[in-house]
Structure 1
Amino acid sequence: METKRSPKNIFVQGPISPESIAKSIANHSSKTDIGGHSIFLGQVRADEKEGGKVTAIEYTAYEEMALEKAFEIREAIFAKYPLSCMHIYHSLGEVKAGEICLFVFTSSKHRKAAIDACEELVERIKKEVPVWGKELIDNDGSVWKENV
């Protein structure tokens, strides 16, 4: 009897800490069948805007739909690539310029599968998962961010 996997919570309140990223990497040292990892870290930029400089992004999501979509993407990537494991973490709430807001980590027996899967995963998350970012500007303004 096959058990149906359910969506994992990919959301983290606030920025993704360097310590949690390091811990996730360290947890894989005992998995000796893995030959390659690929990691993507999305960081908030301090872009210059018409009204000033971006100081942070406030992320919101339609969480139930976002988790379902992330699960669907995750399952498709697992079906397409020979991965050992995959981790996705996305921030909600305020993330300041310079902090990490997206952490995608794929592992495989060989590097090419890990790299290709990570790249496709990031692109699909940005295009398909209903997460929105409002850029907070240093003059007390804000602008909704477009995912590109």
Structure 2
Amino acid sequence: MSTHKKKKVFIEGPISPDFIAESIAHHSVKTNIGAHSIFLGQVRADQIDGQKVKAIEYTTYRELAEDKFHEIREAAFEKFELVCMHIYHSLGVVPCGEMCLFVFTSSKHRKEAQDACNYIVERVKKEVAVWGKEIFENDSHTWKQNTV
């Protein structure tokens, strides 16, 4: 049985630096936290078959993806001694250089926060059905293949 409330995961467009900063700032009142670990996924300007990527457009079946994100959150809380955890993923168009994934874990000690953050990112990349359409400078596109 789930012990945590299902959280909002998806953000339309890029995840802004202000959103990330505010998320971090809100944790200063939680004095039982001794460490945070953060992963930020950023859209790269890859060269594919002579074309430069200018953005990625993310899409998903929201309800299915949110259920999987919740499953991953619950598993991480069970596996690691976390005080707090946040996962955010972009939907829609995210230009190169902008953030598309934000994972933020907090615990009493750094190893738990770091290990949990890595665990979550790996599971998200392998298991969550979020698709990315790479948009090239000439406005052609191709579906992104995830690599681990």
Q: TM-score, normalised by structure 2?
A: 0.96
Say whether 1:82 aligns with 2:81. Answer: yes
- 1:132 maps to which residue? 131
Gaps of 5+ in 2: none
**Distance (whole Å) between structure 2 residues aligned to residue 17 and residue 6 of structure 1:** 24
1:45 positional shift: 0.1
**Distance (whole Å) between structure 2 residues aligned to residue 104 and residue 47 of structure 1:** 23
- 2:6 maps to which residue? 7
The sequence identity of aligned pairs, in percent, is 64
Indicate conservation of the 8 Å contact 2:3/2:74, yes or no.
no
Summarize the alignment of residues 1-148 of structure 1 with structure 2, pairs less than 5 Å apart: 5-148=4-147
**Distance (whole Å) between structure 1 residues aligned to residue 9 and residue 68 of structure 2:** 11
> Is the partner of 1:58 in helix, strand or coil?
strand
Deviations 1:110-136 (A, max 9, x none): 000000000010000011011000000
> Is the partner of 2:132 in helix, strand or coil?
strand
Gaps of 5+ in 1: none
Indicate conservation of the 8 Å contact 1:51/1:141, yes or no.
no
Indicate conservation of the 8 Å contact 1:51/1:137, yes or no.
no
The one-letter amino acid paired with 1:124 is R
**Distance (whole Å) between structure 1 residues aligned to residue 3 and residue 33 of structure 2:** 25
1:4 positional shift: 5.5
**Distance (whole Å) between structure 1 residues aligned to residue 83 and residue 63 of structure 2:** 26
1:6 positional shift: 3.9
Aligned length: 147
Structure 1 segments of 4+ aligned residues over 6 angstroms from their partners: none
Deviations 1:68-116 (A, max 9, x none): 0000010000000000000000000000000000000000000000000
1:7 positional shift: 2.1
1:5 positional shift: 3.9
